[in-house]
A and B are shown apart, each in its own frame.
Chain A
Amino acid sequence: MTKLLEVNNLHTRFKVRNGYLHAVNGVSFSLDKGEMLGVVGESGCGKSVSMMSLIRLLPPAAQITEGEVRIDGEDITHASVSRVNSIRGSKVGMIFQDPMTSLNPFMKIGDQLVEGIVYHKKITKAEALKQAAKYLKMVGISNAEHRLTEYPHQLSGGMRQRVMIAMALLNEPSLVIADEPTTALDVTIQAQIVELVKDLREKLNMSIIWITHDLSLLAGMVDRIMVMYGGYVVEEAVLDDIYNSPLHPYTIGLLKSIPSLKTEAGSRLPSIPGAPPNLFTVPTGCPFAPRCEHKIDRCQTEVPALAAVPGSSGDRPHRVACWVDMRGRGVEQ
């Protein structure tokens, strides 16, 4: 198994008015070729920032302070700007949350689609447009040649997201980062996009990182799930383990708050009390401790390390960052 992506102890922070906002606090994970990883967490838990840090696509106020990212063994965190530019798009593609605003309203779909590929592959524009039409067909857009000459506002939201997907795939990247690609779409279109990505992944053998706050969306789609909280990875395991034997109180809380058909009508949906921590100070203990119902004294003073669960073995152990042994105390679902 070759590792496509390796992330070690990544820290990213933002400069704000009085000090720093610590968005990512030591994230480590790796990804195999062709693997699909789901990244889950509430808003503001650092999932987008940590994935954007992978290709250094950060606003000027943000800064990677520690750690390293390796794509195909190549160090990204210390690479030159031009090198990073050539990796963006060619090796790593991105799909964004809001397809309505992610296309330049002043450029035709075709011109925009081929922008990256003309730059990366040094092919002629006619050639590139031919490619683009092929990919538009692949993502399920009919009449692709005609669509290339249209402007973004002439397409619906679902279509624009398909265009964004085609744009990310056009360079045949080995890794695609999808940042909540279905959040802005309605449920039926959401399902279509999920099916499309699953399908394309099989066809093109890409690795995918799918960022979402919706745990239920990932079922039947990803291989592994990584749960983030307060800029930390709190739990990471293969799909079935997360659903069947979650070990972090936060993961358990997230799973409990998914509505199901068995939920009695009129009853309240369980939720996690409290709000995510503010990240202006690095917490001295477990970031989830203030909201945790299982916390012990140690949780307040020491940050739990992400460690393999005793008993799980193999290449991909079930890792969790919690001082309390939650085995057997999980969900009843």
Chain B
Amino acid sequence: MTDQAIPLQQEEKQFSLAKDAFIRLIANRLAIVGMVLVAFLFFVAIFGPYLTPYDFLSQDLMARNQAPSWQHWFGTDDLGRDIMSRVIYGSRTAVIVGFSTVSFSLVIGLFMGALGGYFGGKVDAFVVWLIDITMSIPSLLLVIVINVSLKPPLVNWMDAQFLATGNEFYRNTIWVDFVLVFGSLALIKWPKAARIIRGQILSIRNKNYVLAAEALGVPTSKIVRRYVIPNAIGPIIVYISAALGEAMVLESSFSFLGVGVRPPIPSWGNMISDGLRIWQLYPHVLAAPAAVLAIVTIAFSFLGDGLNDALNPRQWK
């Protein structure tokens, strides 16, 4: 019996936690819904240019504000641009902003949180002080200040570079918008990541199972890899999925207010802003980007919840 049971165990051992978590995840219906929607969002964002029936900039002034039809599934806006194409391109904006923001904030947060959690004492006090200060800055104000103070010199510099070198890269100032949006969002969001990581490290370092592993003589690198990280990863993964959704919403709200991604580059935020002027007459202009934004946010929440449950063996039934 022993001989039969052990090889079986052997096969399962690779990535056993990930495998178990995945089985658990796909048993959760809401998580599946979230996962499918998020996967669809990424698919659309990546293959957007091949999917759009029209160019997102091409105007058709003969067909302004048209209601949804077979030619234009989501209708057209006040310049006769196809809304579906713009929503698809907006998903690119959202995904690019979401990913860069979350990765930047995670890198900063991981570094700061680990610093505070590991070293404790004065280093920790400094990290906590920095977190508190950053969190006390109103995010909208910060973004507006960055936009007003940093953007003009940056755009001027780009123009000067283009004139001097003739390099096409400097001509497209759209990237300035993106960089400013990522940068300011990351600055706003890192404290949350840092807090989560710091708390995780502090609590896991004092856990009995870490002590028990130390008592067995398990090397430190292995303790970090097999004890600290798996126990810390759940909240961090949940943070990532929540933060992705949140970053997309924030990007939209900044674009809506005119401090994020500027037209003509489509963002769900600036599309909603455009639609707001005429929505009483043509509700579809507002409805399409708003509905997509809402669905994406909910999808990320479902996925985050599902991941949280799946990654925590204590919640398995």
Whether, in the assembled complex, B208 has its beta carbon less than 8 Å from a beta carbon of chain A, the answer is yes
B226 on the interface (CB 8 Å rule)? yes
Name the residue of chain A whose CB is nearest to the CB of B210: A104
B149 within 8 A of A: no
Chain A positions within 8 Å of B215 at CB level: 55, 57, 88-89, 93-94, 96, 168
Query: Is A107 part of the binding interface, using a Cβ–Cβ cutoff of 8 Å?
Result: yes
In the bound assembly, the distance between CA atoms of A87 and B214 in angstroms comes to: 11
- Assess the A115–B222 pair: CB atoms within 8 A: yes
- Shortest distance from the beta carbon of A51 to any chain B beta carbon, whole Å: 11
Known: A116-B216, A120-B217. A106 touches B230 (CB 8 A): yes
Q: Say whether B313 faces chain A, with CB atoms less than 8 Å apart.
A: yes
Decide if B211 is an interface residue (CB 8 Å cutoff): yes
Chain A hits for B16, CB < 8 A: 108, 111
Q: Does A103 contact B (CB under 8 A)?
A: yes
From residue 114 to 169 of chain A, which have CB atoms closer than 8 A to chain B?
Answer: 115-116, 119-120, 125-126, 129-130, 133, 145-146, 148-149, 151, 153, 164, 167-168
Most B CB contacts (10 A, CB to CB) among A125, A129, A146 go to A129
Question: A87 near B217 (CB under 8 angstroms)?
Answer: yes
A126 touches B10 (CB 8 A): yes
User: From residue A12, how far is it (CB to closest CB) to chain B in Å?
Assistant: 16
Contact with B along A254-285 (1 / 0, CB 8 A): 00000000000000000000000000000000
Alpha-carbon distance A89/B1, docked complex (angstroms): 29
Q: A-B pairs with the 4 shortest C-beta distances?
A: A116-B216, A145-B5, A89-B217, A88-B217
Evaluate whether A103 and B212 lie within 8 angstroms (CB atoms) in the complex, with A129-B9, A149-B9 already known. Answer: yes
Is B281 close to A, CB under 8 A? no
Q: How far is the CA of A55 from the CA of B212 in the complex (A)?
A: 13
* B216 neighbours in A (Cβ, 8 Å): 88-89, 93-94, 115-116, 119, 167, 171
Report which A residues bind B (CB closer than 8 A). 55, 57, 85-90, 93-94, 96, 98, 101-108, 110-111, 115-116, 119-120, 125-126, 129-130, 133, 145-146, 148-149, 151, 153, 164, 167-168, 171
Contact: A86 with B7, CB < 8 Å?
Answer: no
A94 surroundings in chain B (CB, below 8 A) = 212, 215-216
Given contacts A88-B217, A104-B231, contact A130 B209 (CB under 8 A): no
Evaluate whether A104 and B209 lie within 8 angstroms (CB atoms) in the complex, with A129-B9, A130-B6, A146-B5 already known.
yes
Pair A106/B17 contact, Cβ less than 8 Å: yes
Q: Inside 8 A of B132's CB, which chain A residues have their CB?
A: none
**Chain B residues proximal to chain A, CB less than 8 Å:** 1-2, 5-7, 9-10, 12-13, 16-17, 207-209, 211-219, 222, 226-227, 230-231, 313-314, 316
C-alpha gap A108/B215 in the complex (Å): 18
Chain B nearest Cβ from A206, distance in angstroms: 15
Interface pair B214/A106, CB less than 8 Å apart? no
**A57, A93, A107 — most chain B CB neighbours (10 Å):** A107
Residues of B within 8 A of A133 (CB): 2, 5-6
Say whether A129 contacts B6, CB under 8 Å: yes
Q: Which residues of A contact B227 (CB under 8 A)?
A: 104, 106-107
B218 and A115: CB pair below 8 A?
yes
- Taking A87-B217, A88-B215, A148-B5 as given, write out 17 further A-B residue pairs in contact, using a Cβ cutoff of 8 Å, ordered by the A residue number: A88-B217, A89-B218, A93-B215, A93-B216, A94-B215, A94-B216, A96-B208, A96-B211, A104-B213, A106-B230, A106-B313, A107-B226, A116-B218, A119-B222, A146-B5, A148-B9, A149-B12
Whether A129 pairs with B207 at a CB distance below 8 angstroms is: no
Whether A119 lies near B213 (C-beta < 8 A) is no
Which residues of B sit under 8 angstroms from A115, Cβ to Cβ?
Answer: 213, 216, 218, 222, 226
With CB as the reference atom, state the residue of chain A lying closest to B20.
A151
Which of the residues B212, B217, B219, B222 comes within 8 Å of A96, measured between beta carbons?
A: B212
Alpha-carbon gap, A164 to B17, bound state (A)? 21
* Contact partners of B9 in chain A: CB under 8 A: 110, 129, 145, 148-149
The answer to whether B217 touches A130, judged by C-beta atoms less than 8 angstroms apart, is no
Query: How far is the CB of A149 from the nearest CB of chain B, in Å?
Result: 6
Report 16 cross-chain contacts, Cβ distance below 8 Å, ordered by A residue. A85-B219, A89-B216, A89-B217, A94-B212, A94-B216, A96-B215, A102-B208, A102-B209, A102-B211, A115-B218, A119-B216, A130-B2, A149-B12, A151-B316, A167-B216, A171-B216
Residues A153 and B214 in contact in the complex (CB < 8 Å), given A104-B209, A126-B7, A145-B1? no
State the CA gap A41–B219 with chains docked (Å).
Answer: 32
CA distance A98 to B212 in the complex (A): 11
* Contacting residues, chain A, for B219 (C-beta < 8 A): 85, 119
CA distance A75 to B74 in the complex (A): 79
Chain B residues whose CB sits within 8 angstroms of the CB of A86 once the complex forms: 217
Verify A153–B314 contact, CB threshold 8 A: yes
Across-interface contacts of B10 in A (CB, < 8 A): 125-126, 129
Report which residue of A96, A98, A119, A145 has the largest number of chain B beta carbons within 10 angstroms of its beta carbon: A145
> What separation, in Å, do the CA atoms of A148 and B12 have in the docked complex?
12
- B310 smallest CB distance to A (angstroms): 12
For the complex, what is the distance from the CA of A96 to the CA of B209, rounded to whole Å? 10
Name B13's contact: one of A98, A125, A164 (CB within 8 Å).
A125
How far is it, in angstroms, between the C-alpha of A24 and the C-alpha of B122 when the chains are bound? Answer: 28
Across the interface, which residues of B come within 8 angstroms of A85, CB to CB? 217, 219
Neighbour of A106 across the interface among B1, B212, B218, B231, CB < 8 A = B231
